[in-house]
A and B are shown apart, each in its own frame.
Chain A
Amino acid sequence: MKRIALALLASFAFAATAAHAVEYAQVQPDKSRIAFDYQQMGVAMQGTFGKFASELRFDPAAPQSASARIEVDLASVDTGSEEGDEEVARKTWFDTKGFPVARFESSAVKPLGGNQYEVAGKLTIKGTTKDVVVPATFTAQGDSGVFEGALTIRRGDFSIGEGAWKAFDVVANDVVIRFRITAAAR
């Protein structure tokens, strides 16, 4: 009995060592997605960003040393209608010409237990940088790992929607950014 327990312990230890060697860093764009939810006249709408570049490193055995950097190509936005896509490129919204990229850069990753993490970092959109804390989960799927989470931002904080759009009665202030990023182990 004791020997079995020892063997089990040893295999756990081995598994832990093996896990330590696994670092998820090869982002697979075709299995990754950044979407956003917003409310327009009380109606739930969905949009996506078709193009973004992400670099990340994550070792489940050493989450504190993980890092992530995501750059979203704002011109790749799909708001749900062509008219909307043209509108958000304007100066009053993203000002895509002046600020083509939105960026998230992590500064610290805090494990919350289980597969839950808190990723603190800086979010820069349209020249404004804010500190944000993004709740995220990590799930290993075969050879790759899936990072998922959602962050609610206020568009007003980043001057997204100025002028006639500044009031939040038609397009709400809260925007939920949802992401799912898949990275292969290296």
Chain B
Amino acid sequence: MNTHYTATAKILHWLIALMIFGMLGFGFYMTGLDLSPTKLELYSWHKWAGVTVFLLVLVRVAWRIGHKPPALPAHMPSIERLAAHAGHHLLYVLMIAIPLSGWLMSSAKGFQTVWFGVLPLPDLLAKDKALGNLLETVHVVLNYTLIAVLLGHVGAALKHHFIDRDDVLTRMLPRRKG
């Protein structure tokens, strides 16, 4: 019985985690700026990073489907198991939905996404101001939802580590030598 996640799963988890925290900070910071060349640059980088996270999430989902994670500790009551599964599913849904909503919002607002200024993503929506504003709200609400679920995710990991004293957190960390 495997007690650790695979190395690939760990790398993807922490890489995406890092990018999500960076992107949340990035997103809240840049939207408050007055229009300037810097703001336009930051928006472009935010969109490029968003496309990158989206692709990494797709790889991660594919890996997750092919590699069963280690089982939850036996001591967990069924309500906690249910919450853990629901939380993880919600995180996956949000990790897909948030970049998609950003991409669609950009299209509807008339700003095409060109990945790193090189690869143009197709505009799936035609320019439509009302739709663009609606998608902006969707993008924001999804991100607040993500923050709430992330707080639960981190809180649960810490509870497992410090209160339940099980291996739920450590099995996502690099293996200790020896």
Which A residues fall within an 8 A CB radius of B?
A: 40-46, 80-81, 83-84, 86-87, 164-165, 167, 169-171
Contacts and interface: CB of A to CB of B under 8 A. Distances in A.
A84 B112 CA distance: 16
29 contacts: A40-B40, A41-B41, A41-B44, A41-B114, A41-B117, A42-B114, A42-B117, A43-B111, A43-B112, A43-B113, A43-B114, A43-B117, A43-B120, A45-B110, A80-B109, A80-B110, A80-B111, A80-B127, A81-B110, A81-B111, A83-B35, A87-B35, A164-B36, A164-B38, A167-B37, A169-B37, A170-B40, A170-B41, A171-B40
B112 A44 contact: yes
Interface residues of B, number: 18
Interface in B97-121: 109-114, 117-118, 120
Contacts of B36: 164
Interface string B22-50: 00000000000001111011011000000
A101 B44 CA distance: 32
A43 B111 CA distance: 8
A102 B120 CA distance: 33
A165 to B, nearest CB: 6
Contact of B111 (A45, A86, A167, A170): A45
